[in-house]
Amino acid sequence: MLYNDTKAQDFTRRRQAAVSCMQDYDIRFRGFCNIWNGEKKMSYADQLFINMCRDILENGTSTEGEKVRPRWEDGSSAYTIKKFGVVNRYDLRKEFPAITLRKTALKSCMDEILWIYQKKSSNIHDLNSHVWDEWADETGSIGKAYGYQIGVKSKYKEGMMDQMDRVLFDLKNNPFSRRIMTNTYVHADLSEMHLYPCAYGVTYNVTQGPGEDRLTLNMVLNQRSQDVLAANNWNVCQYAILLMMVAQTCGMIPGELLHVIADAHIYDRHVDIIRELISRETYPAPKVRLNPDVKDFYSFTTADLIVEDYQAGPQVKNIPIAV
């Protein structure tokens, strides 16, 4: 199916307009940074998100006219502006990485991460949101994806363990191991997954600085593909919460989250939405913590996530999702 010339020209015009808007925003952004003081500032997650979006729109490459899998609801091809190898680093010791341009549903983020790593489920009936409804079959299953893979047991010299139990075992018994990770991108099962995993690999790494009594737990999140508007801060926040839960379970301090995205993209029908979103006023990062009484990873619930002072812009409604 060839890409319609009129659509291609419209996509190009909107991209050029977005770049012009980014240049204007850059001037205003520097002004905000000079005016705002320590009492009111932009969250670090906002800074990273805005800069990432600007970089994709200004320096990314387009897939228009190419053979692509995703489709819009009307059946037309969903093209993107993409950037290869985006890497963002967040330090949870400084602030929680939630954007304030719009509010990220932190309880729902946590619910999905519990669905995958605690319940080890791949059935949407175990999930309290509808983010996976498009990929579920009549039984609610999304196939052998995500939670299913975390729950698969393997044989170790210490006995049979699934992936999450192995992570917890190693962090408690051999915290400086460089082999503490999970992986949901299992080639043998891809044909039975309704969607290949996007955020697929997590690596845990423990550090201890000079004079520090407690260990610090850090995480690398590897992601093959990301819809920046729909999923970027959602993924960042949910894996920040996972890092916090695992650290608390193991008596460690949650440290850095390194997010590696192979293909970070903005869909053609999201360009104008992104342009408006990153022009908004920003606020300080919210205060996010866990119920300190919970010490068992499998005892956490969304009620144990405590969110305070989360001021944010209005929600973006009716975002078109490419499937």
Question: Where do the domains of the chain lie?
Answer: 5-308
**pLDDT value, residue 33:** 46
**pLDDT value, residue 41:** 76
**pLDDT value, residue 16:** 59
Contacts of 86 (CB under 8 A, 6+ apart): 52, 55, 56, 260, 261, 264
Residue with tokens 């999201």: 270
Are 168 and 185 spatial neighbours (Cβ–Cβ below 8 Å)? no
For the chain, state the CA radius of gyration: 20
Q: What are phi and psi of 215, to 5 degrees?
A: -80, 150
Q: How far apart are CA 215 and CA 254, in angstroms?
A: 9
Q: Which among 21, 198, 237, 250 is annotated as catalytic?
A: 198
**pLDDT value, residue 30:** 42
| pTM of model > 0.75 | yes
Q: Which residues of 118-127 are buried (b: 16+ CB within 10 A; e: fewer)?
A: bbbbbbbeeb
Contacts of 154 (CB under 8 A, 6+ apart): 160, 161, 162, 163, 166
Q: How far apart are CA 291 and CA 206, in angstroms?
A: 22
Residues of the chain with pLDDT under 50: 1-4, 25, 27-39
List Cα–Cα distances, 17 to 21, 152, 271, in angstroms: 6, 48, 10
Residue with tokens 């044909």: 191
Residue 269 DSSP one-character state: G
Residue 206 DSSP one-character state: E
Q: How far apart are CA 193 and CA 281, in angstroms?
A: 40
198 is a catalytic site residue: yes
Q: Which helix (H) or strand (E) holds 149?
A: helix 147-150
Instruction: Please give the CATH number for the structural domain made up of 5-308.
Output: 3.30.572.10
